[in-house]
């Protein structure tokens, strides 16, 4: 998979898995990652599916309607790629925290839904419920931050609330930050995510 890797300044650092939104690239979330933690490793991946020339991580049938077969395939593919990257770049595979926006947040959610212990934690900006009618693995050791917009018509409040219920039902500790905004990513929610990260991963910020 097309990607970039940047080694952090601390050998025991978390590795951020950066997952862009529709039409993005592996460079989009680098400033976000730096704002959250300047010492962490970064593995940033570009989606391999194209929708009208725009990179995505999985196909959709319509706005808000996911191609579940492709979602499952791409989720397993991404999980396998992280395994390979951990070997190649020699980072701790058990210490990966996803930072995803929109479509990237959705595949990060799918990793947690379908691949047990694939992530140590996750920061999900404007996610949706990746899949319904499935039993989630135990997420009791997986802290999660969700950034959401009260006026987000792509990832509406009902999606956030349903995702929150599903994650908490699997034992996850979830914090939701609401912005009085739409689907755009704001500096305020990034800073709230940074505060959340410092609280849940304090030893990785020294």
Q: Annotated active-site positions, please?
A: 102, 152, 183
Phi, psi for 100 (deg, rounded to 5)? -130, 145
Q: Rounded distance, CA 6 to CA 164, Å?
A: 31
Using CB atoms within 10 Å of the CB of residue 183, give its burial: 0 to 12 exposed, 13 to 18 middle, 19+ buried. middle
In the chain, DSSP assigns E strands to 3-6, 15-19, 41-45, 49-51, 54-56, 60-62, 65-66, 96-101, 121-125, 143-149, 173-179
């Amino acid at each position: 998979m097309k990607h970039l890797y940047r080694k952090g300044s601390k050998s025991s650092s978390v590795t951020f898995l950066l997952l862009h939104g529709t039409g993005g690239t592996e460079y989009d979330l680098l400033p976000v990652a730096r704002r959250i933690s300047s010492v962490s490793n970064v593995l940033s991946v570009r989606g391999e599916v194209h929708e009208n020339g725009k990179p995505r991580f999985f196909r959709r049938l319509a706005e808000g309607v996911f191609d579940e077969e492709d979602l499952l395939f791409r989720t397993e593919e991404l999980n396998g790629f992280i395994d390979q990257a951990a070997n190649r770049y020699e980072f701790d595979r058990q210490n990966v925290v996803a930072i995803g926006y929109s479509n990237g947040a959705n595949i990060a959610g799918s990793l947690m839904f379908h691949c047990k212990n694939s992530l140590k934690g996750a920061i999900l900006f404007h996610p949706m419920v990746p899949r319904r009618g499935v039993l989630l693995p135990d997420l009791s050791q997986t802290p999660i931050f969700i950034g959401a917009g009260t006026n987000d018509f792509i990832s509406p409040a009902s999606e956030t609330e349903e995702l929150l219920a599903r994650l908490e039902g699997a034992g996850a500790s979830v914090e939701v930050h609401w912005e009085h905004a739409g689907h755009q990513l704001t500096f305020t929610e990034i800073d709230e995510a940074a505060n959340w990260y410092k609280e849940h991963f304090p030893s990785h910020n020294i």
